[in-house]
């Protein structure tokens, strides 16, 4: 999946349902979503699209560990990227694991779309903004 040059944010998720707040943010800002089966697959989309930020949804158990591995792989392979993890509701241990893996920010998956969008845009440096649609 190639992304447009003006689409500076890319969302990544393993198979499964997308958190409702995240889904609304993707629609509002027109950010693309890449579904990946395995963490290594995400690198292809990242290198091709060259986004400034990745929003990574943490999959619910039992795939939670794969999502943390994805964050770690992205952090190690593309350190220039900003990483926002969208975790499961009430996932305190997940937040600690996500931040340890390299996430620059974390928000629970049950957060309102507005909050997810604010955090995602707030991580981007001034002058780099994804346009609202």
Q: Is residue 103, in this structure, part of any structural domain at all?
A: no
Q: Domain count of the chain?
A: 1
Rounded average pLDDT over 9-20? 90
- Which two tokens mark 131? 């346009």
Helix, strand, or coil (residue 54): strand
Q: Is residue 122, in this structure, part of any structural domain at all?
A: no
User: What is this structure's pTM?
Assistant: 0.85
- Which two tokens mark 112? 């309102």
Q: Is residue 47, in this structure, part of any structural domain at all?
A: yes
- Confidence at residue 128, expressed as pLDDT on a 0 to 100 scale: 52
Q: Is residue 133, in this structure, part of any structural domain at all?
A: no
Predicted confidence (pLDDT) at residue 65 exceeds the cutoff of 70: yes
Which residue range(s) make up the domain with 18?
Answer: 1-52+62-89
Higher pLDDT, 83 or 43: 83
Higher pLDDT, 62 or 98: 98
pLDDT per position as a tens digit, 28-57: 888 999 999 888 888 887 887 778 899 999
Q: Is residue 69, in this structure, part of any structural domain at all?
A: yes
- Confidence at residue 125, expressed as pLDDT on a 0 to 100 scale: 78
Rounded average pLDDT over 68-81? 89
Q: Is residue 79, in this structure, part of any structural domain at all?
A: yes
Lay out the sheet containing 53-57: strands in order across: 33-35, 9-13, 53-57, 82-87, 105-108
Phi, psi angles (nearest 5°) of residue 76: -75, -35
Q: Is residue 43, in this structure, part of any structural domain at all?
A: yes
Q: Is residue 97, in this structure, part of any structural domain at all?
A: no
């Amino acid at each position: 999946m190639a992304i447009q040059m003006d689409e500076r944010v890319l969302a990544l998720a393993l198979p499964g349902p997308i958190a409702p707040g995240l889904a609304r943010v993707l629609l509002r800002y027109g950010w693309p979503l890449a579904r990946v089966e395995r963490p290594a697959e995400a690198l292809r989309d990242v290198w091709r699209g060259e986004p400034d930020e990745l929003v990574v949804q943490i999959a619910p158990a039992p795939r939670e560990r794969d999502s943390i591995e994805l964050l770690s792989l992205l952090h190690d392979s593309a350190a220039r990227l900003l990483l926002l993890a969208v975790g499961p509701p009430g996932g305190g241990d997940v937040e600690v694991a996500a931040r340890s893996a390299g996430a620059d920010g974390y928000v629970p998956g049950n957060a309102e779309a507005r909050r997810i969008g604010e955090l995602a845009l707030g991580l981007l440096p001034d002058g780099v903004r994804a346009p609202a649609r």
